[in-house]
Amino acid sequence: MGAIAVIGSLALIGWLIWRAVRRKPIKAHLVSYILACVSGAFTFTFFLTMDLPKVIKILVSIVLGGILIFIAAWFQRRVKPSWT
């Protein structure tokens, strides 16, 4: 799992460089979503070394946090301010 987190980090850096070279816009919500996923993979890897009951509680918290982040990003994209 640690390798997946490292590869994800390198892929994010490569993707940002590729977008910058091609001069395409980078949306902030997409970058923050990808960072949340990569940090979740690192957190998941770290907590795998803990006792099983703690891991279950922490994994439930991580999954619930990910779901809430996804829902918030989804609502943010759907609801547009009236001044734009």
The closest of 14, 17, 7 to 37, measured between CA atoms, is 7
Q: Which domain holds residue 8?
A: 2-78
Question: How many domains are contained in the chain?
Answer: 1
Domain membership of residue 14 (yes or no) is yes
pLDDT digits (tens, 9 = 90+) for 49-78: 677 787 787 778 888 888 888 888 887 777
Query: 83 pLDDT band (50/70/90 cuts)?
Result: low
Given a cut of 80, is residue 22 above it in pLDDT? yes
The closest of 60, 59, 8 to 35, measured between CA atoms, is 8
The more confident residue out of 23 and 3 is 23
Domain membership of residue 66 (yes or no) is yes
Domain membership of residue 84 (yes or no) is no
Domain membership of residue 23 (yes or no) is yes
Domain membership of residue 49 (yes or no) is yes
Domain membership of residue 42 (yes or no) is yes
pLDDT digits (tens, 9 = 90+) for 33-52: 777 777 777 777 777 767 77
Given a cut of 60, is residue 84 above it in pLDDT? no
